[in-house]
A and B are shown apart, each in its own frame.
Chain A
Amino acid sequence: MHSAYNCTAVDIYPTHVISHTLTGLHGHVIKLPMIFPFKPGQVAGLTLNDTIPVRIYSIAGSDFKNWIEFLFDVKSQGVLTPKLAELKAGDKIFMTKPFGTFAADEKPAYWIATGTGVAPFKIMADAGLHVNKHLIHGVGKSKNFYFRKYFEETFGENYIKCCSREISKDCFKGRVTDYIGQLPTLPAGINYYLCGSAEMVIDTRDLLISKGVSFENIIAEIYF
C-alpha cells in the first residue's frame, strides 16, 4: 500500500535505460545517459514513478561523457529492486541529481567492500584513482565478484577476493573481516574506505580500530 508519508520529497528527472545486463548470480547493471555531471563516489536516487520512494545507488561506472551505470542486487521483499530488475532498454526511469561526498583521493589507501558496495570503488578506478590502492571485496558466492575481470586487470595482486560461502580458486575463504583479522599488520597513516551494509561497516571499523588503525583514517559509506 502506498502510504501518506513515504518520502517523495526529492526532485526527480526523467531519463531512460540504455541497457540492462546481468552480472554474477544476483547482480544487475543498468546504463543510463549521463544527464548530470558527477564526482566518482557519488550516488543518485532512482525510482520508476513519483509514488515509489526513491532509493539511493552508487554510480558504478561511466565514460564521463555519455553514460553512467549502476550496480544493484534484488531484494526479494523490496519495493524498488524487483521492479528495476524488469527494466529493458528504452524504458523510462527517474533519477535525482548525483549527490554525496564519498570520494577517495590519490593517496595510498585500502578500499574494502562487500557485495554491491564495490560500486563506488569501480567508478573511482574508472577515474584512475586505483593507483596505490588495495581493493578487498567480500561476497558469499564467488560468482558475485562483480566486475571481477576489470578489477583483476586494474589492481593486479592488490585485488583481494574474499568468499565466505565457497572455496574458490584465487580467493580467500572467509569474510573480509576474517581476511583483515589474519593480517599481521596494517599500514598506518593511510586511509581505509569502507562500503557496504551497516553490519559490515561496523564490524570492519571495530576490527581496524582494534588492530591499531586510527578511527580518523576510516571513512565509510553505509548502504542503509
Chain B
Amino acid sequence: MQKQALFGKTSDELKIIVKQLNLPAFTAKQLADWFYKKDVNRFDEMTNLSKEARQLLENQFITGLSEPIKVQISDDGTKKYLYRSLQGKYIEAAYIPEADRHTLCVSTQVGCKMGCLFCMTAKQGFQGQLTAGEILNQIRSLPERDLITNIVYMGMGEPLDNLDETMKSLEVLTSDYGFAMSPKRITVSTIGIIPGMKTFIEKSRCNLAVSLHSPFEEDRKKLMPIQNVYPLNEVLDTIRSYDFSRQRRISFEYIMFKGLNDTPRHVKELVRILNGIRCRINLLRFHPIPGTPLQSSENITIEWFRDELKSKGFMTTIRQSRGQDIEAACGMLSTKELLNKKTD
C-alpha cells in the first residue's frame, strides 16, 4: 500500500498523526513549520526533530512534495506547469506574472465531472480527486513560489466537487500555522454547486467567483449541465443570503461566445439578475478547443459589452488572454500528456 503523504495536512490532522506515533505533541507544530514556513523537502532535513522521530516518519510516510515534470513558457511570460499526482495522473498549474501581481491558477481534480461544453478538461472525464497536499504542492513546489501574490482555484476540476480537500487546502494556506496568506488574495471559482458554496462561504474568508456564462437559464443549460441540478436563480439567491462585505469579493466569470451570450438582450438580463449583488464581472475571450461548435465574440463586441455593463454600474473587466501560444485553454497540456501516455 502507498504510504500516506504528510504535506498538506491540517494542524488538527498532524496532531492526530503525531499522537498515534507516540511522538511529543509539539512535533505537529514542528512539522507544520517545516512544511509550510521553510523550504525543506525531506524528513531527514527536519533537524529539530529527534533522529528517531525522523526515522519513524520516513518509515511510515512520504512528504508528498514533488517538482513539476514539465513547463511550457509563453512569449508573454505565462508558464504552464505539469505536475504528476500521487496516483501518477497529470495536473496543470498556470503561473501568470503581471506588472502588479503574480497569480497562480491551481487544479483541484484530475479531469472533471461537470461536462461544460466549452471546456477541455471536461473532455478528459473524471480521473480522481486531488488531496489538499496535491493542491498545495502546486504552490509549494512552484519555482516562482516566492513571487506569488494571488492564488485562483480555476484550474482543472470543480473545487466544490472536492469540497473537503479544497477547504483543507484553504485552511493551510490562510492559517497562522500554515502559509499565513491573506484570504483576500485567494479566489475559488465554482460553476455553482450550492451546498458546497454554502460551506465555503460559511467556513472560509476567501473570495468566490461564479461561472455564469449566460443569464438565461435555458441557454445556460446547453453550455453547463449543472444548470439542471442547481439553477442560476437559486445560486444567486444563495449568494444574496450572505453578506459579502468589503472584506470579501464575489465575482462572476463570463466567457463571451459569438452570437450566443453577447447581445443587448444579454446585457439587459444580466443587469436584471445581478441587481443588488455587489460584484465584479470578468469577461473572458473563448479559447476554442478541438471540435467545439462555439466561437469567441469579436474584440469589439467584448469591449462594447463591458462598456454597457459599466454604464449600468457593474465593475466589469476584460480578462487579458494569456499564454495563447502555449496550450492556453485549461486542460490542454494535461490532455496531451494523457494521450502521450496512452500511446506509449
Interface residues, chain A, CB within 8 Å of chain B? 3-7, 9-10, 43, 54, 56, 99-102, 198-199, 201-202, 205-206, 209-210, 214-216, 218-222, 224
Contact = CB atoms under 8 A, between A and B. Distances in A.
Interface stretch (B191-199, B273-281, B304-312): B191-199
Contacts of A9: 195-196, 198-199, 202
Contacts of B86: none
B229 A215 contact: no
B293 A209 contact: yes
Given A198-B113, A198-B115, A218-B222, A5 B125 contact: no
Contacts of B126: 198-199, 224
A205 B293 CA distance: 11
A215 B203 CA distance: 38
Given A9-B195, A198-B126, A202-B123, A220 B202 contact: no
B222 A216 contact: yes
A41 B196 CA distance: 22
B58 interface: no
The binding surface of chain B is classed by DSSP as: helix
Contacts of B161: 224
Interface stretch (B36-44, B163-171, B248-256, B333-341): B163-171
A219 B293 contact: no
Nearest to A120: B228
A205 B223 CA distance: 11
Contacts of B234: 99
Nearest to A7: B195
Given A7-B195, A9-B199, A209-B293, A101 B225 contact: no
Contacts of A215: 117, 222, 293-294
Contact of B228 (A54, A210, A216, A221): A221
Interface residues of B, number: 36
Given A198-B125, A224-B113, A219 B221 contact: yes
Nearest to A45: B195
B88 interface: no
B115 A201 contact: yes
A206 B115 CA distance: 11
Given A5-B164, A198-B126, A214-B293, A101 B115 contact: no
B247 to A, nearest CB: 21
Interface string B159-181: 00101100110000000000000
Interface string B226-262: 1111110010000000000000000000000000000
A50 to B, nearest CB: 13
Chain A, interface SS category: mixed
A7 to B, nearest CB: 5
B163 A101 contact: no
Interface in B119-147: 122-123, 125-126
Contact of B225 (A4, A54, A209, A221): A221
Contacts of B196: 7, 9
A75 to B, nearest CB: 13
B202 to A, nearest CB: 7
A3 B167 CA distance: 11
B225 A222 contact: yes
Contacts of A199: 125-126
Contacts of A10: 195, 198
A223 to B, nearest CB: 8
Contacts of B125: 198-199, 202
